[in-house]
């Protein structure tokens, strides 16, 4: 039994969960499919499938129900911002398949509450009453965890089982496809992806933003780094999350490139 997620006690028994390993049945936008297909065929993809299915067979309660939900709400062609998380929430009814987000009616977790506090401070917006970030996802904010499944009450237990190979590939797809994209990297785990993002952004000429010295069109990335919004680190140096100004920086940078993003929830 866990505490008051819906204003009442709830347990893992009635929580939405992954019931079988069946990626073909997980909804995603078509433009993500080539990267997904390549991963499922890879040795890492096969190993991950074997591991997760073995845990399901053993009776493990695994969240979320739809591990690739972020790729359904945000097409590759529409990504403007990436907010990178680590792994899904591990409590009942929490994980949605979107980094930091919880379903409407679910108690807002502490890290998300700090995200809302910074959003309110930075953009002078009303504090959201719901923890759902689906509206952001539908406007082009890719809410991606680096590991996409977790077991009930066991944080990071599926880390380094293969998901990271897929999510690195997805970050590479965004970096190569988006003419201009903001990456919000909060905490050391997310910031470790900065080199990958910068390398892949520069890898192939494309898009409409700017020119390289040789006159070829290039992509642009704004990589923003701060501490994780967890209460343990949100106010600590070197870059406290509270006060980082990432939302206004993203809004201004995108506007300079004729791209808009509404952060209201």
Q: Which residue in 87, 152, 214, 262 is the catalytic one?
A: 87
Work out the angle at residue 158's Cα, subtended by the Cα atoms of residues 157 and 161, and round it to the nearest 5 degrees: 135
Tell me the C-alpha distance between 53 and 149, whole Å.
12
Expressed in angstroms, the distance from the first to the final Cα of the chain is 30
Nearest CA to 171 among 217, 213, 223, 135? 223
Q: What single DSSP character describes residue 146?
A: S
168 has catalytic annotation: no
Tell me the C-alpha distance between 111 and 24, whole Å.
32
Cβ-contact 241, 229 below 8 angstroms: yes
Long-range contacts of 205-211 (CB under 8 A, 24+ apart): 206/176, 206/177, 206/179, 207/178, 207/179, 207/180, 208/179, 209/179, 209/180, 209/257
For residue 254, the surrounding DSSP H or E stretch is helix 246-255
* Catalytic site positions: 87
């Amino acid at each position: 039994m866990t505490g008051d997620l819906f204003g009442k006690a709830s347990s893992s028994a009635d929580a939405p969960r992954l019931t079988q390993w069946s990626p073909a049945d997980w909804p995603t936008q078509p433009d993500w499919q080539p990267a997904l297909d390549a991963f499922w065929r890879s040795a890492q993809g096969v190993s991950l499938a074997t591991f997760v299915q073995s845990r399901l067979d053993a009776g493990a309660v695994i969240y979320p129900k739809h591990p690739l939900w972020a790729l359904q709400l945000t097409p590759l062609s529409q990504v403007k911002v990436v907010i990178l998380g680590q792994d899904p929430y591990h409590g009942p009814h929490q994980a949605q398949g979107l980094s930091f987000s919880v379903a409407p009616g679910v108690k807002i977790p502490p890290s998300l509450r700090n995200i809302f506090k910074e959003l309110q401070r930075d953009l002078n917006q009303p504090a959201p009453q719901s923890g759902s970030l689906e509206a952001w996802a539908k406007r082009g904010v890719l809410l991606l965890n680096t590991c996409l499944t977790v077991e009930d009450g066991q944080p990071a237990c599926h880390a380094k089982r293969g998901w990271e190979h897929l999510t690195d590939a997805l970050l590479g797809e965004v970096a190569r496809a988006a003419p201009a994209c903001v990456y919000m990297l909060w905490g050391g785990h997310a910031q470790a992806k900065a080199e990958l993002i910068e390398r892949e952004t520069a890898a192939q000429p494309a898009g409409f933003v700017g020119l390289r010295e040789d006159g070829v069109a290039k992509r642009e990335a704004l990589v923003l780094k701060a501490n994780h919004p967890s209460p343990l680190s949100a106010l600590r140096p070197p870059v406290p999350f509270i006060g980082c100004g990432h939302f206004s920086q993203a809004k201004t940078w995108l506007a300079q490139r004729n791209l808009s993003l509404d952060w209201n929830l």
